[in-house]
């Protein structure tokens, strides 16, 4: 404007996505970044729902409450799962939410990162469980029998596959079928039969619920399986120590999650499951995942990967100092530190403006980092939004599950009419 005093500035300030309250929060945050031209977004979509900020005790409560609140919100609004997004600063925040969503049977898809359940080491363990649940699962058989290696090579599998195809049976069944000895040498057949015998033994134990002394519960069978296949040793033999340690920790997290479900988890002993129940559950989830190109599922995404997207309802999680804004180099020069905060503030702005009709923001008072629990502070960006945040937590009415709502309604309808 100094060089061109007659320059006309046209500001594109009308927002066609979000409600006024969401835009007010976004404007209040980004106003703290220096800019050449001031700009304030506005909308004709009405005032809309208040932006809700909720404090959680820790990351486990955060994941659990968001899953329940999302489910209840969807039921109340008669919305689709695909109307919802859970946005976060870093991929490391997603794992605990994946587990919570699965516990509530909420379908989801991942953007900007790999799903915990899509990791190779998790798929390896799942292949054993799928095979226990269904001996006809040929893809699971191939993955399990070759991981860890047990002397079953490509030529052996090709010969076994040809034999199974001829007799129109599964690979597992073909291992014990008459006539296989003429196709495979003893040295080829022995490791196959040892493997299948092991799976049969797991299956025999998997259907017993560990409620009586001496019975095999899901955790015991799972531990014995992991010990027998020595998957930890396989990881350290095939990856460097740091990679192996990370992969093994993922496996431990997965098996711990399975054991919790086997023990009834938060639902109590009445919902205790045996290993066969768990394997069938895992097999069903594996089969259903990825069937649709555009599934009706909650979108889980990093803030970076969410740019350009929009969702009717957004949950922006982990909005704390050290996460959003991300902790930087404490020794960085002031100008570098200031630039980093400005970039983090733009990310916060992106997250807020992904929401069309409702926005929930959560933060934790403490969070597990490594093996210690650390105290957390609410993000400066939330304070900049000028909302009355306090220590708001979801109300009982907000977090009641759809199943509970239906049960309550049914109970009301069944009440005897007054005489």
Domain coordinates in residue numbering, the chain: 20-107+296-406, 118-288
The rounded average pLDDT for each run of 10 residues, N- to C-terminus, in the chain (419 residues) is 72 78 93 77 80 93 95 93 95 90 90 78 92 89 94 93 91 93 93 95 74 64 92 95 93 88 58 73 61 75 90 96 87 88 94 95 89 90 81 54 56 56
In this predicted structure, what is the pLDDT of residue 408?
Answer: 60
The superfamily CATH assigns to domain 20-107+296-406 is: P-loop containing nucleotide triphosphate hydrolases (3.40.50.300)
Q: Count how many Cα atoms sit within 13 Å of the Cα of residue 417 in the half-sphere of its side chain.
A: 1
Tell me what pLDDT residue 273 has.
Answer: 73
User: Rg of the chain's alpha carbons, rounded to an integer?
Assistant: 27
Predicted confidence at residue 276, as pLDDT, reads 77
Residue 192: predicted pLDDT: 96
CATH 1.10.486.10 fits 118-288, yes or no: yes
Cis peptide before 148 (omega within 30 of 0): yes
Angstrom distances, CA of residue 262 to CA of 68, 116, 168, 218, 418: 21, 20, 35, 6, 45
Judged by DSSP in three states, 324 sits in coil
How far apart, in Å, are the Cα atoms of 209 and each of 220, 221, 274, 277? 11, 11, 5, 10
- Residues shown for the chain: 419
């Amino acid at each position: 404007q100094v060089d061109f005093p007659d320059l006309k500035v046209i500001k594109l300030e009308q927002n066609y996505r979000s409600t006024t309250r969401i835009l007010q929060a976004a404007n209040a945050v980004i106003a703290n970044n220096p800019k050449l031209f001031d700009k304030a977004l506005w909308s004709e979509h009405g005032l809309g729902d208040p932006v809700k900020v909720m404090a959680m005790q820790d990351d486990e409560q955060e994941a659990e409450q968001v899953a329940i609140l999302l489910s209840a919100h969807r039921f109340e609004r008669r919305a689709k799962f695909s109307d919802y997004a859970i946005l976060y600063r870093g991929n490391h925040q997603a794992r605990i939410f994946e587990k919570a969503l699965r516990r509530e049977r909420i379908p989801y898809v991942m953007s900007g990162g790999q799903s915990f359940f899509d990791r190779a080491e998790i798929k390896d363990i799942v292949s054993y469980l799928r095979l226990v649940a269904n001996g006809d699962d040929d893809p699971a058989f191939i993955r399990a029998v070759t991981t860890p290696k047990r002397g079953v090579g490509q030529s052996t599998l090709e010969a076994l596959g040809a034999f199974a195809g001829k007799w129109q049976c599964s690979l597992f069944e073909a291992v014990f079928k008459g006539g296989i000895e003429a196709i495979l040498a003893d040295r080829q057949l022995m490791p196959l039969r040892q493997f299948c015998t092991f799976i049969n033994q797991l299956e025999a134990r998997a259907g017993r619920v560990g409620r009586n002394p001496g019975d095999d519960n899901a955790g015991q069978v799972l531990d014995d399986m992991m010990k027998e296949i020595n998957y930890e040793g396989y990881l350290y033999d095939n990856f460097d120590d740091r990679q192996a340690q990370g992969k093994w920790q993922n496996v431990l997290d997965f098996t711990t999650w399975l054991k919790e479900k086997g023990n009834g988890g938060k639902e109590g002993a009445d919902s205790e499951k045996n290993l066969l129940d768990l394997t069938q559950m895992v097999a069903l989830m594996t089969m259903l995942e990825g069937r649709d190109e555009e599934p009706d599922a909650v979108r889980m995404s990093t803030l970076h990967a969410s740019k350009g997207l929009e969702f009717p309802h957004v949950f922006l999680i982990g909005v704390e100092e050290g996460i959003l804004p991300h902790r930087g180099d404490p020794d960085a020069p002031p100008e570098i530190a200031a630039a980093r905060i400005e970039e983090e503030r733009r990310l916060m702005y992106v997250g807020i403006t992904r929401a069309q009709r409702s926005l929930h923001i959560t933060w934790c008072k403490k969070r597990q980092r490594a093996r210690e629990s650390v105290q957390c502070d609410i993000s400066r960006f939330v304070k900049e939004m000028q909302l009355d945040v306090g220590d708001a937590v979801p109300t009982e009415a907000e977090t009641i599950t759809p199943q509970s709502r239906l049960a309550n309604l049914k109970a009301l309808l069944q009440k005897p009419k007054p005489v």
